[in-house]
């Protein structure tokens, strides 16, 4: 069946995704490249307390977090935070280009029946500034939303309150904070998830791409949330383990944090990002053809 005649359903989006991956192994390349890049940066951060990297990375770590995080084993407590910041940086400067490449491949497969990584990379390079701007907006909004929610909760309980909505502070500042952060990430990603497909498929301007994404999100609300949420479930164990970093260090050994983070890099790139990017891109293409 011609994919352009299909309705925009979750089943059809995933069918197109897995069919494209099977027929064109190059569909893995953008996410594998990003995973390798992120792994290299993670290893650099792991070696930050050692010379010669200590000369460069030591001062900012000492300034923002303290001297103790430049010493074993406290450096492993900070590693998840540094890894998260590193991923934000890489996502904006490199992930934007690679995501654009992946979506361009999806568009080519959908419209032409075939795609090549090099051709899609050239297409993404021509639109890099807009790709950069889209991912930058998403990243900044995500960061500000997380800072606002965490700061608001801390200030509320510092003011002397012991409970919020009958729930004690320990839960709000612990497990519930993780759930809130995850929910915020899902909603923000879902809102902007169609901006890059609109850019790569229709060559729209930045503002128009954002507007098209909001409209498509409204029309595909439930489907979009499911396509964004389901792959993230595969990353939940990594989130839980990172949240319990201190416990892991006590019960096992400090280096286990590095192992968990490396596993998280590949799960995030090759499962979560890959499935969300392709499934939502194909859903958007199906949706656009039916309008």
Beta bridge partners of 53: none
- How far is it, in rounded angstroms, from Cα 217 to Cα 223? 9
Number of helices (H), then strands (E), in the chain? 16, 2
H-state helical runs in 91-205: 96-112, 117-126, 128-158, 169-172, 175-192, 195-202
Position 204 confidence tier, pLDDT thresholds 50, 70, 90: confident
Among candidates 173, 113, 116, 119, which has minimal Cα distance to 149?
Answer: 173
40-87 per-position pLDDT tens digit: 999 999 999 999 999 999 999 999 999 999 999 999 999 999 999 999
Between 105-109, 128-132, 175-179, the lowest mean confidence (pLDDT) is in 175-179
Beta bridge partners of 168: 163
Q: At a CB cut-off of 8 Å and minimum separation 6, what does 182 contact?
A: 232, 239
- Give the pLDDT score at 228: 97
| Phi, psi dihedral angles at 116 (to 5 degrees) | -130, 140
CB atoms within 10 A of CB 70: 19
| Phi, psi dihedral angles at 29 (to 5 degrees) | -60, -45
């Amino acid at each position: 069946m011609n994919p352009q005649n299909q309705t925009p359903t979750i089943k059809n989006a995933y069918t197109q995704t897995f069919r494209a991956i099977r027929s064109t192994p190059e569909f893995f390349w953008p996410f594998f490249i990003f995973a390798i890049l992120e792994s290299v940066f993670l290893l650099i951060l792991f070696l930050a307390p050692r010379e010669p990297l200590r000369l460069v990375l030591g001062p900012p770590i000492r300034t923002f977090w303290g001297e103790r995080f430049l010493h074993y084993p406290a450096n492993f407590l900070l590693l998840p935070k540094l890894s998260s910041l590193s991923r934000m940086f890489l996502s904006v400067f490199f992930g934007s280009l690679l995501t654009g490449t992946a979506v361009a491949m999806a568009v080519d497969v959908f419209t032409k029946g075939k795609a090549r990584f090099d051709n899609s990379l050239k297409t993404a390079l021509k639109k890099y500034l807009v790709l950069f701007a889209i991912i930058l907006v998403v990243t900044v909004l995500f960061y500000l939303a997380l800072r606002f929610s965490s700061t608001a909760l801390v200030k509320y309980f510092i003011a002397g309150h012991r409970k919020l909505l009958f729930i004690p502070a320990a839960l709000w500042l612990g497990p519930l904070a993780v759930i809130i952060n995850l929910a915020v990430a899902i909603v923000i990603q879902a809102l902007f998830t169609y901006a890059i497909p609109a850019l790569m498929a229709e060559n729209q301007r930045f503002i128009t791409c954002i507007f098209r994404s909001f409209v498509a999100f409204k029309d595909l609300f439930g489907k979009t949330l499911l396509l964004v949420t389901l792959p993230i479930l595969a990353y939940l164990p990594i989130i839980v383990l990172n949240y319990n970093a201190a416990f892991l260090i006590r019960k096992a050994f400090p280096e286990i944090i590095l192992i968990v983070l490396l596993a998280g890099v590949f799960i995030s790139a090759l499962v979560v990002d890959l499935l969300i990017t392709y499934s939502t891109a194909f859903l958007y293409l199906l949706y656009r053809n039916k309008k």
